Amino acid sequence: MVWGLIRTYNLLTLSAFVSYVLIRHEPRPHLRGLGYIKRKSRVKNIYKPKEAIVEDIIIESPTIKTFVLRLKEAFEFRTGQFVELTLPGIGEAPFTPSSDPNIKNKIDVTIMNVGRVTSLLHNCSKNISLGVRGPYGKGYPLDKFAGKDILIVGGGVGLAPLRSLLFSLFAEIDKYNKVVLRYGARTPEDIIYKEAIPRWAKIKKVDVVTTVDVGDAKWKGNVGLVTTILKDLPVDLKKAVSVVCGPPIMMKFVTLKLLDLGFKPQDIYLSMEKNMSCGLGKCGHCRIGRFYVCKDGPVFTYEQLKDIHDIWD
């Protein structure tokens, strides 16, 4: 076929022929030569990250750090969306920003040291350059939370995505009936945002209770799994929604507990950050049933996922 085209257009120069091949499916009155090829090459590279400078690194716990990043280009996200954070020449990994979405061109990313990329990130210092790709996915539907009691349940580093949600709720707290936060960590030392949590508890219409699996001599709060502080909740189930984020096993048992309490599957929102790689629904690594977490989520209702048998794997 190609040689037939060359014979048919034997008067075309090689460059004009290449140009013809590029635009042959588009309605054009005439060939435009190399100039068109040059313009065509300006198509945006969807995998190219934006440069960000690490302005600060905050140690949250022995295994968790918050990286404060300033983007060199315009950047904004909706609470619940995620980004791919790139360590140049090494790799990238998905994280949900933990900062206030109302602050533009600057994001916090709270990272637990659990793998190769996260370990290398934990060894980074301030002022280095990282890449940020995104944001991707669907965030929390704040419009559906208006006028309701909002129960937020977090476990471990799962409080990081929820911190962004909390900032969004606090900014317009009068839109919501109340915000109830229940958070659990393995030990008091593993609690993140230690200074912020007491401040959140003082905000009007906000109720906060924390727990640890194993206490110490200084710990005065509840000792037990996060499900142990889900009793006697100050919420009206007729006008309440719940948001859950944490390790899969914690999310499983919290969801079951919420169902026992009377929450409807459509009112339980889960942040399913599961093995996301490309961020665009292309690689298929994050598929759950018919859904791609990176594209259809990462925020889902339990109603969407309840009939899929392996959602907690």
pLDDT for 85: 95
21-25, 30-34, 157-161: segment of lowest average pLDDT? 21-25
What is the Cα–Cα distance from 135 to 294, expressed in whole angstroms? 10
Q: Which two tokens stand for residue 267?
A: 């009112």
pLDDT in tens, 69-98: 999 988 999 999 999 999 999 999 999 999
Are 194 and 225 spatial neighbours (Cβ–Cβ below 8 Å)?
no
- Average pLDDT value over all residues in the chain: 87
Rounded-to-integer distance, Cα 267 and Cα 150, Å: 10
Residue 8 predicted with pLDDT over 90: no
The residue with tokens 């984020």 is 245
Share of the chain above pLDDT 90, in %: 74
| Residue/partner pairs of 75-78 with CB below 8 Å, 24 or more apart | 75/50, 75/104, 75/105, 75/107, 75/132, 76/101, 76/104, 76/105, 76/135, 77/101, 77/107, 77/134, 77/135, 77/139, 78/135, 78/139, 78/140
Q: Could you tell me which CATH number the domain at 142-271 has?
A: 3.40.50.80
Average pLDDT over residues 6-28: 39
Distance CA 302, CA 313 (A): 15
Q: Where do runs of H (alpha helix) occur along the chain?
A: 2-8, 14-23, 33-40, 116-122, 142-145, 159-171, 196-201, 248-261, 293-296, 302-305
What's the rounded mean pLDDT across residues 287-295?
Answer: 90
Arch. (CATH architecture) of 50-136: Beta Barrel (2.40)
**How do the domains of the chain map onto residue ranges?**
2-40, 50-136, 142-271
Local confidence band at 42 (pLDDT 50, 70, 90 cut-offs): low
Say what the pTM is. 0.84
193-200: Cβ within 8 A, 24+ apart: 193/60, 193/159, 193/163, 194/60, 196/163, 200/166, 200/170
